[in-house]
Structure 1
Amino acid sequence: MAKRLLLILIVLLALGAGLFFWLTEPTRMESAALAEQDSGDAKRGERVFWLAGCESCHARPDAKGEAQLELAGGLPLKTDFGTFYAPNISPDPDDGIGRWTFADFANALQRGVDPEGRHLYPAFPYTSYVRMKHEDVADLWAFMKTLPQVKGRAPDHELSFPFNIRRGIGLWKLAFLSSNPVVTLPASASDAARAGQYLVEGPAHCGECHTPRRFAGAGGLDHARWLGGAPNPEGEGKVPNITPAADGLGSWSADEIAEYLATGFTPDFDTVGGAMVAVQENMAKLPDEDRQAIAAYLKAVPAVD
């Protein structure tokens, strides 16, 4: 009887392990299909680069000016699960992504899978980038290849068990990785608001900081409180509510939001601060129509009180 129970237990464990590995298998986009889209424009890609905030995490800490284009990585992101370090994503063939193909880049950006077939941690906001248009991804890739090659690798992530088991991220993705729009805009929404929806929910990844996460921060974004403010992931203070609520942007006009993104000045003549400084500096590099679209969308989303 004991042997039979042991055998049943072994079979169940084997089936469970098999199911786990099947469910957590990294999913990639087909390389052949992506190869047909590898014809991006670097000039357009520069806009996507600033919109996506690539240098905010991947440039060396405190880099300014042209040094912002040297994507050596190394910036630490301290969380309750450990410390993540932004990697070198310069075109260096040894320490960066210089040997990657466009398919490698697109799968990392939109599926969270590296060229070795490993899950990437969602500290990298592929949960937003998954909504990007393929032509924008191709343009960004074209621009990335023009940047300086930088030697040196960032430190390995410092994560405790079980968060250091990448395979488990596959289950997380099943629950939280989706390319669907977050907000259903009303039929009366302007074209600018609809353009802004793509920018905010996709490449600009505003929700990654301004929306609280479910399950004590370990889950996906709480879409019921989309852009309603969230704890600072680094543990100090709160990331503000940017919905049209009274304690958010309710008293700001769309023009005032766009002006803030362009200049860093609030309607009360205060100035941008904290981590938003880098974001605002990136937004200032965008065409005015992008800032106006973002502002229109932020005025159109549901208020979160």
Structure 2
Amino acid sequence: MAARARKFLTSVVLFVAVAGTAAWFLTRPEPWPASHWEGLGEPDVANGALVFSAGGCVSCHAKPGAEGDAQLVLAGGLSIKSDFGTFHVPNISPDETAGIGGWSLAQFGNAMTRGVGPRNEHLYPSFPYTSYARMTPKDVNDLFGYLKTLPKSAEVAPSHELPFPFNLRVALGGWKLLFYSDGPRVTVDTANAKLARGQYLVEGPGHCGECHTPRNALGGFEASQWLAGAANPDGEGRIPNITPGSQSIGSWSESDIVNYLETGFTPDFDSVGGSMVEVQKNMAKLPASDREAIAAYLKAVPAVQ
């Protein structure tokens, strides 16, 4: 009887060990191999500035309340409240201690596109790496080069305030297994260069779905509701549906969308408001061809009523 019990206990221990090893293997941080970030050459800082605008980096990483040139001091500090706790946006200035000045391109690129920090830790998806995952290595390299030209800040942002179990980064491996993907969100005609560029900008650096797509209870996108509108993360009102099925924006023409992104005025002469104000200012800095590509993509995505 005792031998049978020992055999059973041994089997349980072995099962737990094997299951634990398999779980760790499936959910461990997965940075790109070093070769992914090699051979990119000197960054194109001018293009990096455009990627910076497309990504709206100042919206989160500038010090709250900063205006004008002060927005280029990426000291962080913005608090993002969520159902999982409060996230504090970090300093990404080129300061070697408080910011990312000591990071390599590989460390920066893995954080941007794989959600893996410089100590090989999982990053929280309050940083939209699930969108940035679609960015090309060239754009990441150019953006990193541009960030190095900006002013340094020695300010250190507070740590995240997250209750158990959300404070366990190891659990993010399981979240990524469920929701992380670098594939297209929807199918469009990528043989059309304008549509392909629009898809890249909206689904990638522009990370439009982060606000305009509803999420499930675990914080993952509801894939069938891409860009169909969502609760306002700031707690007031609702982020609108921007698919062709929208009762408002759905009736806009491509030129209406282009004009809105450039000037901030809607076809009925209303003006941009809320958190979209900063987004529109950034979109206005892009080449006209990029705004046209974004508009073409928004008219081509599946309509959601």
Q: TM (normalized to structure 1)?
A: 0.94
In the alignment, which residue of structure 2 is the partner of 1:226? 226
**CA deviation after TM superposition for structure 1 residue 156, in Å:** 0.5
| Structure 2: stretches of 5+ with no match in the other structure | none
The answer to whether structure 1 residue 299 and structure 2 residue 291 are counterparts is no
Say whether the 8 Å CA contact 1:29–1:107 is kept in structure 2: yes
**CA deviation after TM superposition for structure 1 residue 111, in Å:** 0.4
In the alignment, which residue of structure 2 is the partner of 1:200? 202
Q: Distance in 1 between matches of 2:160 and 2:105?
A: 25
**CA deviation after TM superposition for structure 1 residue 220, in Å:** 2.2
CA 1:125–1:48 in 2, change beyond 3 Å: closer, same or farther? same
Deviation by residue 1:100-126 (Cα, 9 ceiling, x = unmatched) = 000111000000001100000011111
In the alignment, which residue of structure 2 is the partner of 1:261? 261
Alignment map for 1:26-65 (pairs within 5 Å): 26-65=29-68
Q: Distance in 2 between matches of 1:71 and 1:16?
A: 43
Say whether the 8 Å CA contact 1:38–1:102 is kept in structure 2: no
Q: Distance in 1 between matches of 2:154 and 2:227?
A: 37
Say whether the 8 Å CA contact 1:58–1:88 is kept in structure 2: yes
In the alignment, which residue of structure 1 is the partner of 2:73? 70
Q: Distance in 1 between matches of 2:24 and 2:246?
A: 47
C-alpha root-mean-square deviation of aligned residues, in Å?
A: 1.6
Alignment map for 1:153-164 (pairs within 5 Å): 153-164=156-167
Aligned residues, how many?
302
1:204 aligned partner, one-letter code:
G
Q: Distance in 2 between matches of 1:295 and 1:32?
A: 35
Deviation by residue 1:240-259 (Cα, 9 ceiling, x = unmatched) = 00011142422111111111
CA 1:248–1:163 in 2, change beyond 3 Å: closer, same or farther? farther
CA 1:246–1:233 in 2, change beyond 3 Å: closer, same or farther? closer
Corresponding residue SS for 2:14: helix
Q: Which is worse superposed, 35-44 or 152-161?
A: 35-44
**CA deviation after TM superposition for structure 1 residue 174, in Å:** 1.7
Deviation by residue 1:120-140 (Cα, 9 ceiling, x = unmatched) = 001111111111111111110
Q: TM (normalized to structure 2)?
A: 0.94
Deviation by residue 1:12-62 (Cα, 9 ceiling, x = unmatched) = 332332222222211011223412125211111000000011111101012
Q: Percent identity?
A: 55
In the alignment, which residue of structure 2 is the partner of 1:191? 193
Corresponding residue SS for 1:77: strand
The answer to whether structure 1 residue 90 and structure 2 residue 93 are counterparts is yes
Deviation by residue 1:172-220 (Cα, 9 ceiling, x = unmatched) = 1122211111111147x84322211111011101011101113x2x242
Say whether the 8 Å CA contact 2:232–2:238 is kept in structure 1: yes
1:179 aligned partner, one-letter code:
D
